[in-house]
Amino acid sequence: MYQQLLTRITQRTAHIGVIGLGYVGLPLAAAWAREGFLVTGIDIDLQRVAMCQQGTSWIADVSSDDLKTLVRNSRLSATTDMEVLSELDAISICVPTPLNKTKDPDISAVLNAVEMIAAHLHHGQLIVLESTTYPGTTDELVLPRLCQTGLTVGEDFFLAFSPERTDPGNNRYGLCNTPKVVAGITPTCLEIAAALYKTVVDTIVPVSSTRAAELVKLLENTFRSVNIGLVNELAIMANLLGVNVWEVISAAATKPFGFMPFYPGPGLGGHCIPIDPHYLAWKLRTLNYKTRFIEVASEINGQMPRYVVERITHAMNEAGKCLNGSHILVVGVSYKRDIGDLRESPAIDIIELLHERKAHIEYADPYIPVLAFSQMALTAVPLDEEHVSSADCIVIITDHRAFDYAYLARTASLIVDTRNATAGIVGSHIWRL
């Protein structure tokens, strides 16, 4: 089974399936299709499947022209029909793993995918889990279910874990030049999974167990969460001390060793950093261990939207304005610069808090034309003189490169800048985090 599958991978005759056509799955499916494999994307979202079949991309990292070419050449297709699983040589699981309301892991999408795979598992098939999860998921949950089919792992089928390292909008590091961590249940599982990923990734980083690989992913984003929590608290302390936190970080970053700069902001957003540390914390709670750094960082990062609103209130009071009834223009609402992704964006929390304080809110964001959540539905406005000059306060949440910050500084009467987007621009009307 091993040699047959390895040959099919090497000769690019393997039929690969990707379950979940989101920010992780679609770029991965497109990469394998470009490499010459026959690839089938599987998703429960009818709209995504229809768009893929039409060659229309909904992910910035995959162009519609590229997708159209792959679909037209019959290298890539999409379906909601799970029966296709029985035809596949390799399957990558790239489904979402969010948190529930109590911040416990919700891996129901993974378990549903595994159930479907188990119903169609056959000899010589490779299964790789890419979805972020807690250590032990692959060997404690996925493996036993697949073994219930009567097939033997490492001989009849192969099981591996390879955490996604997707950074939407990153023009420097993409799928191909970002090293790929891979682990298998058995040595042969590792070898066959590494062979598959070597076809589209420059560097493979093998680790000894799936638990180690699962922990690698959580360490990467817990590291970022904890350090962002540190500089967010530093921003609060610097404000109390009357010191410019951006100047402090910039000066500290000149040290050529022992320091890595992180920057404060209005809160954490995205599909990884606000979520992944809680997977690790949850797992350790089952072992009666308290993850203190994670909890403190989460507390600090979670309070940043409220701290931003406090800064807005203070800035407006100093300018002789009242937040109640004021006109606030939020600049940038996506969770990070230059992408149209709202997942876990702190802008949503800030807008809701401002709305609770009876402020009238507008927003500008070239990547998010419509913003709808809770009881609110907003449409983006242009950053023209009418909207900028009429606002009582401009709040910069996401520092898109498309914005003209010098123009905002000249035109706005008051600015609260949470990203230091106005760095180098002097003005008493500009308040920074």
CB 390 within 8 Å of CB 325: no
CB 67 within 8 Å of CB 43: no
Strand ranges in 60-213 using DSSP code E only, listed in sequence order: 76-79, 90-93, 125-129, 157-161, 180-184, 204-206
Please give the radius of gyration of the chain, using alpha carbons only, rounded to the nearest integer.
Answer: 24
Which one is catalytic: 52, 272, 322, 393? 272
Query: In 3D, which of 402, 416, 411 has the Cα closest to residue 384?
Result: 411
Query: In 3D, which of 140, 259, 138 has the Cα closest to residue 207?
Result: 138
Known active-site residue 189: no
Q: How far is Cα 278 from Cα 281, in angstroms, rounded to an integer?
A: 5
Strands 393-396 and 327-331: parallel
Strands 157-161 and 125-129: parallel
Between the two ends of the chain, the Cα-to-Cα distance in Å is 58
Query: In 3D, which of 234, 272, 279 has the Cα closest to residue 252?
Result: 234
Q: Which two tokens stand for residue 37?
A: 């494999």
Residue 337, number of CB atoms within 10 A of its CB: 16
Q: Which two tokens stand for residue 262?
A: 């992180």
95-99, long-range: CB < 8 A, 24+ apart: 95/19, 95/20, 95/25, 95/131, 96/20, 96/22, 96/131, 96/271, 97/131, 97/132, 97/133, 97/275, 97/279, 98/275, 99/275, 99/278, 99/279
Which residues belong to the active site? Answer: 272
